[in-house]
Homo-oligomer: A and B are copies of this chain.
Amino acid sequence: MNPLAIPEIVIRRLPLYLRVLNRLADDGRTLTSSQELGDTLGISSTQIRKDLSYFGEFGKQGTGYGVRYLRDQLRQILQVDRRWNLVLIGAGDLGRAILRYNGFQEGGFSIVAVLDNDQEKIGRQIGKLKVQDVAKLPEVIAEHGVQIAVIAVPASEAQEVAEALVNAGVNAILTYAPITLSLPDHIRVEYIDPLIGLQTMAYYLSPGHL
């Protein structure tokens, strides 16, 4: 293995740090510390300093971190100091909610197209986008240089959609369908599944755990 490889669990915490830094910057704060970041997130300050140390030295002893500076550095590290074009598959309620959520935009991602296979939905306007036929997938992907797709279709269709996306050249997928996708190893997949959290909480809410 690459001796410089950074643990994925570290990479996964960087967006959390970035989220807090964005918030601090919005609040007009100029300085922060690993202590403050950790308290906000429920993480130890040591862990935050250790995580950051994989990438460089961003703070000043006795002073802490410049909020904007650290934010910009994290954006660079995560490659969200530029814009990623996304396609969204599925124009149902969930798809619409995703389209109206500003967070993607603010986080560095632009949804440039929404596609569906339902003739009823194709052609409808949602915000600034018109729902396109999923058959147009290859053209849309090529046209916008899309590398990341978002799946918001029923579980029963997700695998098929995912394969079409991969065939069209996408190499990362964020899926809301509660099903494990079976795809080539080099395709990155992230799952959003609210049931995991709910069922985990249910376990801890049972009498023996409270």
Contacts and interface: CB of A to CB of B under 8 A. Distances in A.
Interface string A123-157: 00000000000000000000000011010000000
Contacts of A84: 198, 202, 205
Contacts of A93: 93, 96-97, 100-101
Interface stretch (A56-64, A75-83, A113-121, A160-168): A75-83
Contacts of A199: 14-15, 18, 78, 80, 107-108
Interface in A92-115: 92-94, 96-98, 100-101, 103-104, 107-109
Interface of A: 8, 11-12, 14-16, 18-20, 23, 40-42, 77-80, 84, 92-94, 96-98, 100-101, 103-104, 107-109, 147-148, 150, 171-172, 174, 178-180, 182, 186, 188, 190-206, 210
